[in-house]
Amino acid sequence: MPSWHRKDTHTLDSKPEKEGLYYGWVIVGALVLMGIVGHGIVRFSFGVFFKYLQEDFGWDRASTSGVFSAYMVLCPVFTILGGWALDRYGPRKIFTAASFFTCLGLLLTSQVTAPWHLFLTYSLLLAMGTGCLYVVSMTTVSKWFIERRGLASGIVSCGAGIGMMVMPPIAALLISGYGWHTSCSIMALMAFVIMIPCASLMKNPPGAAVALPDAGALGNVARELSLTQAARLRNFWLQMSVLFTFSACMFSVNTHIVPHALDLGVGSVEAALLLSCIGGGSILGRVAVGRLCDSIGGKKAFLICALLLMVAMLWLMKSSSLWMLYTFAVVFGFAFGGTAPANVVLIGENFGVVHMGLIMAVINAGWETGGALGPILTGYIFDIRGSYVSAFGAGALFALLATILILLLKTPGSYNPSK
């Protein structure tokens, strides 16, 4: 029987489904599309709009970065709220609400006439729309799969990488042809056409809401931990800090790499393609590091990503030609993408999977807040120094700090979680 048939239907207390395509794969496909649009437009295309916003509103780069930083600051609120609401109201209502606010935020952003409007339309409304997207997607897909949970989660996480490859060049082409206001309207329509129908496909699996874990999925966990129990462990706060430092580095690049390339004389489309290269590298990283986690564990996989990230940032500081920038983008993207499976695996190893959704939402607050600090700090350093070299040097220091924090993580199973 093909692997996508009934073999994945054995949720707790569920009844066997009829032969045919297992509905879990429909969920996977819909979540990939939502990740491509939601993450690709909102999180990874902001750098393409960066200079146009700066020129229209007469801002410096720190102020322009502040719009995205405010968005990232607000995301943890809606991440935790979405994780809580998912168990109470189900995925269809949560994804429909998220899609609505994404479309509304993009549409209203196209109509702004004053700088402060952006903090409402982009920072707030788009945080309401996409802040919870990653955690709710990962939690939803994990409920539909037992034996192939890793494969399904890996495919879903690739949506963000594909979005990073596809959406920034589309945004650049739209802006060059229609201006940034009209481009936002077109992207709002794109989000409506894709995200709303995908949200309507969401539902809980048959039977209990939480699927039984794979045999061996809890290999090094003494017992399943609640959020309160997990928060008593040093690894909980260390992992949150690791995500903070990773994200501060990564989103400083995602926000400023296009303006940096434009400053070096690179064309707008070629500059936007740097984000596509990062997205392509991230897909490779998600797949390769995901498979690597199965053999060496989340901590060592995290460490490899941190070291690659530090090397990439040092390379970026010396990059002055397009081929050097593209080389950087692929390596950086690999490290960027690899953090996703390493983070999920490490959470499972340390705290179990029963309460993974809420635990992941809280730990990912480190990712969102780091993503808020990185872009605005990079913009501030540029405004002071007139160059990105020192700013990207700060990113390399964040990568070094991440490496140190990872080394301080205790190996899962080396502590008693009941204490």
- What are the boundaries of each domain within the chain? 6-408
**CATH fold for domain 6-408:** Growth Hormone; Chain: A; (1.20.1250)
pLDDT of residue 141: 81
Reported confidence tier of residue 66, pLDDT bands at 50, 70, 90 = confident
Stronger pLDDT, 143 or 195, i.e. the higher one: 195
Stronger pLDDT, 30 or 83, i.e. the higher one: 30
pLDDT of residue 407: 95
| Span 305-356, pLDDT tens digits | 999 999 999 999 998 888 999 999 999 999 988 888 788 778 878 887 667 7
Using CA atoms of 161, 162, 164, 166 in order, give the dihedral in degrees to the nearest 10.
170
Q: Is the pLDDT of residue 9 over 70?
A: no
Q: Is the pLDDT of residue 4 over 50?
A: no
Least confident window among 1-10, 168-177, 326-335:
1-10
**CB contact at 8 A, 145 and 205:** no
Proportion of the chain above pLDDT 90, given as a percent: 35
pLDDT of residue 183: 92
pLDDT of residue 219: 41
pLDDT of residue 147: 61
Average pLDDT, the chain: 83
* Residue 109, both tokens: 């952003």
Nearest to 352 by CA among 212, 177, 184: 212
Stronger pLDDT, 413 or 164, i.e. the higher one: 164
For residue 31, the one-letter residue type is L
- To 10 degrees, what angle do helices 149-200 and 91-109 make? 60
* Residue 56, both tokens: 């229209």
**CB contact at 8 A, 82 and 204:** no
Q: Is the pLDDT of residue 218 over 50?
A: no
Q: Is the pLDDT of residue 98 over 90?
A: yes
Per this entry, what is the length of the chain? Answer: 419
Q: Is the pLDDT of residue 91 over 80?
A: yes
* Residue 342, both tokens: 């390493």
pLDDT of residue 192: 95
d(CA 70, CA 373): 9
Task: Count Cβ atoms below 10 Å from residue 212 Cβ, excluding itself.
Answer: 15
pLDDT of residue 60: 86
pLDDT of residue 394: 93
pLDDT of residue 7: 44
Burial environment of residue 234 by CB neighbours within 10 A (0 to 12, 13 to 18, 19 or more)? exposed
Task: Count Cβ atoms below 10 Å from residue 7 Cβ, excluding itself.
Answer: 14
Averaged pLDDT for residues 225-253 = 91
Q: Is the pLDDT of residue 372 over 80?
A: yes
Burial environment of residue 321 by CB neighbours within 10 A (0 to 12, 13 to 18, 19 or more)? exposed
Least confident window among 50-64, 119-133, 344-358:
344-358
Phi-psi region of 9 (alpha: psi -120 to 50; beta: other; left: phi over 0): alpha
User: Is this prediction's pTM over 0.85?
Assistant: no
* 50-81: burial string, b at 16+ Cβ within 10 Å, e else: bbbbbebbebebbbbbbbbbbbbbbbbebbbe
Q: Is the pLDDT of residue 5 over 70?
A: no
d(CA 248, CA 93): 32
